[in-house]
């Protein structure tokens, strides 16, 4: 999701080092409205998933669409401030070749750094923003995925699924399954996250998985919201049955 990324009270950089991020700074940036955010970081005009698919056609990059677009598959559409393109970290070199005519910037802890040719990604940095150049808006938010042979939840590696259960095809475009996209929203719990949950289209198995996983990770408020949503849908099905 497009935001000033990875704002946590303590950030683990994967090398035994952590960075303390003042909670007030994190709260201020993460709570900016869209107009204020773009005033600070620049304008966004996200590419649609179909345009991204065309851009990456012919490459062997492992990628999929996540965020609100993935959470809303099958549900009424809404405006999206960005398009979340998840790319395997191991495919970063190939991605840089495919996007050689684009400007790629590392986005980390609220600051941006151009990823210039011949310069590697800083250790622990796992998000890029992409635009054609400074005269154009940002168009792609690219979180980098360290998962290898299975999908693994970034916030807790004990939560994982086989790729075939984590990613599905939507009109020829790989998307993260809605229940997993919603799991990523549980700790954020913003109004738009609850809106996405309120219209989500899942089967009973997926609702159960999401509720149980939220419970397991300590997201009790969302676990209850998920169960309430699933139960309300079940009640509607029963009410619509034979009289």
Domain that holds residue 65: 23-177
DSSP conformation class of 231: H
B/e letters for 53-79, b = 16+ CB within 10 Å, e = fewer, are bebbeeeebbbbbbbbbbbbbebeeee
pTM for the full model?
0.83
Greatest alpha-carbon pair distance for the chain in Å reads 69
Which residues, including other chains, have CB under 8 Å from residue 184's CB and lie 6 or more apart? 1, 66, 67
Domain tally for the chain? 1
Return per-residue pLDDT of the chain as tens, 243 residues.
554 444 333 333 333 333 444 556 656 777 778 788 778 888 899 999 999 999 999 999 999 999 999 999 999 999 998 899 999 999 999 999 999 999 999 998 778 899 999 999 988 899 999 999 999 999 999 999 998 889 999 999 999 999 999 999 999 999 999 999 999 999 999 999 999 999 999 999 999 999 999 999 999 999 999 999 999 987 654 333 343
9 in any annotated domain: no
42 in any annotated domain: yes
240 in any annotated domain: no
Phi, then psi, of 90 in degrees rounded to 5: -65, -15
Task: Kindly report the CATH number assigned to the domain that includes residue 84.
Answer: 3.30.460
189 in any annotated domain: no
Which residues, including other chains, have CB under 8 Å from residue 162's CB and lie 6 or more apart? 150, 151
135 in any annotated domain: yes
146 in any annotated domain: yes
45 in any annotated domain: yes
222 in any annotated domain: no
Instruction: Give the three-class secondary structure for 167.
Output: strand
């Amino acid at each position: 999701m497009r935001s000033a990324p990875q704002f946590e009270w303590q950030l683990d950089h994967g090398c035994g080092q952590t960075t303390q991020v003042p909670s007030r700074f994190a709260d201020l940036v993460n709570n900016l409205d869209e107009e204020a955010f773009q005033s600070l970081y620049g304008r966004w005009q996200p590419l649609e998933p179909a345009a991204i698919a065309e851009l990456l056609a012919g490459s062997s990059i492992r990628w999929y669409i996540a965020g609100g677009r993935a959470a809303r598959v099958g549900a009424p559409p809404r405006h999206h401030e960005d398009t979340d393109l998840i790319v395997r970290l191991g495919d970063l070199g190939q991605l840089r070749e495919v996007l050689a005519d684009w400007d790629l910037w590392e986005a980390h802890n609220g600051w941006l750094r151009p990823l210039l040719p011949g310069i590697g990604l800083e250790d622990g940095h796992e998000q890029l923003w992409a635009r054609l150049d400074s005269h154009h808006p940002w168009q792609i938010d690219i979180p980098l995925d360290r998962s290898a042979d299975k999908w693994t939840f970034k916030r807790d590696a004990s939560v994982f699924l086989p790729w075939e259960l984590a990613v599905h095809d939507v009109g020829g475009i790989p998307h993260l399954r809605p229940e997993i996209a919603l799991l990523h929203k549980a700790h954020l719990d913003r109004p738009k996250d609850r809106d996405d949950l309120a219209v989500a289209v899942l089967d009973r198995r997926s609702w159960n998985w999401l509720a149980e996983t939220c419970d397991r990770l300590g997201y009790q408020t969302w676990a209850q919201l998920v169960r309430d949503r699933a139960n309300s849908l079940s009640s509607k099905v029963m009410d619509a049955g034979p009289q």
